[in-house]
Homo-oligomer: A and B are copies of this chain.
C-alpha cells in the first residue's frame, strides 16, 4: 500500500476529507522525525518502539586487497514492533 492509498483509508476511518487526513499524517510524521532527530526513543502503545542506536566505529578488511578501512561510527534507527502488532502479523 502506498502513501496515497493509506491517506484514503485514513480519511475514511477519521471521517474527514483526504486533504485533512494528509495534513494530520504530515503532522504525525513531522513530530516523529523531530523526536527521533533529537536522538530520543519513541514508544507508541500498541504499535512499537522506535529507537536511535549508536553503531560504534569498526575496522573492515577488503578480502581481495587486504586493505583495512575504518568505518566511522553512525546512528541507526531501529524499530521493535509491539507484541500486539506481532500477533496481528502472525495471524
Q: Which residues of A contact B (CB under 8 A)?
A: 1-3, 6, 9-10, 13-14, 24-37, 39-47, 52, 74-77, 79, 81, 84-86, 88-91
Contacts and interface: CB of A to CB of B under 8 A. Distances in A.
Contacts of A77: 79, 81, 85-86, 89
B47 A27 contact: no
B89 A37 contact: yes
Given A36-B85, A36-B88, A37-B89, A31 B44 contact: no
B2 A43 contact: yes
Contacts of A42: 1, 6
Nearest to A81: B77
Nearest to A14: B27
